[in-house]
Amino acid sequence: MTPMSPLPVTKAVIPAAGLGTRFLPATKAQPKEMLPLVDKPAIQYVVEEAVRAGIDDILIITGRAKRSLEDHFDRNFELEYYLAERGKSEELAEVQALAEIADIHYVRQGEPLGLGHAVSVARKHVGDHPFAVLLGDDIMDQRSRVLEAMIATHMERGSSVVAVKEVPTDELSSYGCIKPEAIDGVAAELVKILDIVEKPDPADAPSNMAVMGRYVLTPEIFDALDEVKPGVGGEIQLTDAIGILLQRQEVLGYCFTDGRYDIGRKIDYLQATVQMALERDDLGPAFEDFLVRLVRERGLLGDT
């Protein structure tokens, strides 16, 4: 059922059409994907991750306020002139490199009908090729090789591959959740997905393995998306289309543990910002000193 020699994965789709209501008022006039983590907008981490995995063609699905996204990955001659004049060569190189990072395309979702619908509008651009989907609420550490490993798995087996991670039971209702089955003779990180449910009640969840916003999908997903009826929240869910796909061809879960930052909610976003700042060579040590001082001053560790 799956193709004999899988095509390489050179395209990625990044849905960025959500309204970002959890981050209002910051997202009133800019997409949430432009919120910075330390000094880079979230979407830049996602684009860089795709590029690291060998992808050079990126389709960003936008909604309203797409202008800043486009501007971010475009030349800015005025700024470049200013930086060049003042001899700020490092900043200049960084700004220029952003416009060369990949072939970036934009398409509008039109109506916000859900993640599955956002992916379906990529059909024409993606064509008859496997492709990656990267969701911006999940940011991967620069050292993460999850997407590369997922693409390598697709190349070996021709299957769609979904990134999954174990989460506590009380968090399952925020995620797609899979029913995994071990496969003999393959790497332990890989499981066969027997079923997938969007945002289950934890009592009914098929396991604690939750979908983490990285997918490598075969183009057959588009037919499945056409068939899907509105699901959780009245939206066209990608999870439901994957549920149809796995009845027709093998869909694998790639299990990983580390290197993922959640930025979907304010508290997660704050935690991710702190963690990422601590990881930075240029900021980490000074920031750590500050945090230690803060903890002491506020007596956060009690008397111990």
Residue ranges that bind ligand G1P, judged by CB under 6 A: 115, 135, 137-138, 175-176, 198, 210-213, 237-239, 264
Minimum Å gap between C-beta 150 and ligand G1P is 15
Question: Between 218 and 239, whose beta carbon lies closer to ligand G1P?
Answer: 239
Question: Between 198 and 220, whose beta carbon lies closer to ligand G1P?
Answer: 198
What tokens were used for 242?
């994957």
Neighbours of 277 (CB within 10 A): 19
SS3 call for 77: helix
Question: Between 103 and 171, whose beta carbon lies closer to ligand G1P?
Answer: 171
Give Cα separations from 115 to 119, 125, 295 (angstroms). Answer: 6, 17, 40
Q: Which of 290, 292, 288 is nearest to 279 (CA)?
A: 288
Minimum Å gap between C-beta 282 and ligand G1P is 29
Question: Between 219 and 264, whose beta carbon lies closer to ligand G1P?
Answer: 264
Question: Between 92 and 132, whose beta carbon lies closer to ligand G1P?
Answer: 132
Rounded Cα–Cα distance for residues 264 and 20 (Å): 9
Minimum Å gap between C-beta 131 and ligand G1P is 17
Question: Between 119 and 277, whose beta carbon lies closer to ligand G1P?
Answer: 119
Locate tokens 């997918």: which residue? 215
Rounded Cα–Cα distance for residues 6 and 15 (Å): 24
Count Cβ neighbours within 10 Å for each residue of 105-137 and write b for 16 or more, e otherwise.
Answer: eebebeeebbbbbbbbbbbebbeebbbbbbbbb
Task: State which residue has the least CB distance to ligand G1P.
Answer: 176
Rounded Cα–Cα distance for residues 207 and 52 (Å): 31
- The per-residue DSSP string of 57-116 comes to EEEEEE-S--HHHHHHTS--HHHHHHHHHTT-HHHHHHHHHHTTSSEEEEEE-SS---HH
Minimum Å gap between C-beta 218 and ligand G1P is 18
Amino acid identity of residue 81, one-letter, is Y
Minimum Å gap between C-beta 298 and ligand G1P is 32
Minimum Å gap between C-beta 265 and ligand G1P is 9
Minimum Å gap between C-beta 250 and ligand G1P is 19
Minimum Å gap between C-beta 200 and ligand G1P is 10
Locate tokens 């075969």: which residue? 218
Degrees to nearest 5, angle at CA 92 with 88 and 98:
155
Question: Between 47 and 172, whose beta carbon lies closer to ligand G1P?
Answer: 172
Q: For the packed helices 89-98 and 77-85, what is the interaxial angle rounded to 10 degrees?
A: 160
Q: At 272, which helix (H) or strand (E)?
A: helix 266-279
What DSSP designation does 21 have? G
Question: Between 175 and 269, whose beta carbon lies closer to ligand G1P?
Answer: 175
